[in-house]
Amino acid sequence: MTYLWKTTELIAAMNGRAIGDMPEGITGITIDSRSAGKGEAFFAIKGENFDGHDFITAAMVSGAAVCVVCEGKLPALGKFTAPLIVVDDVLAGLERLALAARARTKAKIIAVTGSAGKTTTKEALRHSLSAVGKVHASAASFNNHWGVPLTMAKMPEDTEYGVFEVGMNHPGEIRNLIKFVQPDVAIITIIAAAHLGFFKNLDEIADAKSEIFEGIVPGGTAILNRDDARYRLLEHAAKTAGVAHILGFGENARSKFKLIKCALHSEHSDIVARIDGKDISVRIGAPGRHIVQNTLAVLGAAHVVGADVAKVAVALGTLTAEKGRGKRHVLSIGSGHFTLIDDSYNANPASMRAALSLLGEQDVSGKGRRVAVLGGMLELGRFSARLHRDLAEPIIDAKIDKVFLAGPEITVLSEALPVELKVEYRQSVSELTSSLAGFVRAGDVVMVKASNGIGFSKLVEQMTQKFKPVEKAEAAA
């Protein structure tokens, strides 16, 4: 059997001690007792709301072969008979295992951060690099203080490309995380007003994102958005950190990975990109100008790590948007259908503008309309009202026909929109869902976008339950 970790290596890496009959090795790692697979190690991490030590029995029932527990919790476990690895602190033990995983791998490691587009870029890298080698990447948005070390600890030894998303909402967070990743290549997608409530201005956000440079391995590469207003600030920070190679992507004439041509369509984009002096035609399966921009970084990273860029480019043609991040649902209504674009997972001013631009690019049929369903953007602090009002411009530019709003933060937007634009505000998501369901008709394209805490994922779920999905062949017809 092939093990993720042999038990002796696992114990040594974490400075742990064994209690009970140990398995020869483990097949995986989990921190969720409900998803523990056969032969996996369950790490009983203490979180904000739950303590993993309370779920050890459930993890063993689910199939876990061994549990990693804290020394201080041992007396409370009593005569628990399952195999245990005892450490001083479970999260600290996971972090030590992450460092051991990084030390043993020969994989090329790519880290992605930025104010918007992190997960989409990470998924594009995962998808396209899978065409040329064995890829291990962050699951969902595992980009925080436990998600990053967990992802690294779970990386198989024979991985060829590792892709890690690194997030933050306070200064110092990336600095603490990037030491586990130690990337060969670090990408910063864009600097924008995400989490601005925790910073004075965008320069401070750029400084915080620049912490990623501190972890780049000697001889490594930073790939930066050459079209970003804070490119120079990031470039200076990378040089100060001693990064060997600093390369830009974008439309700027000095970009190493440059956009030459771009044709945007409702469901895909066709581009010509110049990658290190060579032009390559690429079809991108997921639509949107923001996807195009970050694809340049994906192609650039593939080039830097020595992957076959031509094969990576072909793979991008089958890229699709993820749930909550632009996934498209074609839903039946009457004798026709409408399109629901689910971008409900997160929102900040940059990603809102990108989503609205994408909506404006969508083709509508018959009497169809472009409908924006928008919720509040969280963590903007004292800038919140102004940044929500500023959404009026991209809404007008996209020629939106109807706007639905929900959430206290976004009420100011209705005041900033022209009186001739149809705007409907509802206090709750359930009220909004009811209004939207009664409004939509065949030919409509509906964009749903909000910060995750607003709960618009429930709206999407209810709409996809109320209206049946249409088969692809039927939708094309």
Span 76-114, pLDDT tens digits: 887 777 899 999 999 999 999 999 999 999 999 999 999
Separation between Cα atoms, residue 14 and residue 9, nearest integer Å:
9
pTM of the model: 0.88
pLDDT at 475: 52
Q: State the Rg of the chain over Cα.
A: 24
Separation between Cα atoms, residue 112 and residue 187, nearest integer Å:
5
Q: State the DSSP H helix or E strand holding residue 395, giving kind and residue range, or none if neither.
A: helix 392-397
pLDDT at 193: 78
Please answer whether residues 217 and 182 qualify as being in contact, where contact means their C-beta atoms are separated by less than 8 angstroms.
Answer: yes
Q: For the chain, what is the largest distance between any 2 Cα atoms, rounded to a whole number of angstroms?
A: 73
Cα 189 to chain centroid, rounded? 12
259: burial class by Cβ within 10 Å (0-12, 13-18, 19+)?
A: buried
In the predicted model, residues of the chain with pLDDT beneath 70 are: 141, 195-196, 472-477
Written as six digits, the tokens of 458 are 């429930």
Residue 189 sits at the vertex; the CA angle it makes with 100 and 201, to the nearest 5 degrees, is: 105
pLDDT at 321: 86
Establish how many alpha carbons lie within 13 A of residue 91's alpha carbon, considering only the half-sphere containing its beta carbon: 12
Separation between Cα atoms, residue 329 and residue 381, nearest integer Å:
33
Give the number of other CB atoms < 10 A from CB of residue 314. 14
Residue 370 sits at the vertex; the CA angle it makes with 468 and 360, to the nearest 5 degrees, is: 125
Measured in degrees and rounded to the nearest 5, phi and psi for residue 382 equal -70, -10
Q: Are strands 402-406 and 327-333 parallel, antiparallel or unpaired?
A: unpaired
pLDDT at 473: 40
468: burial class by Cβ within 10 Å (0-12, 13-18, 19+)?
A: exposed
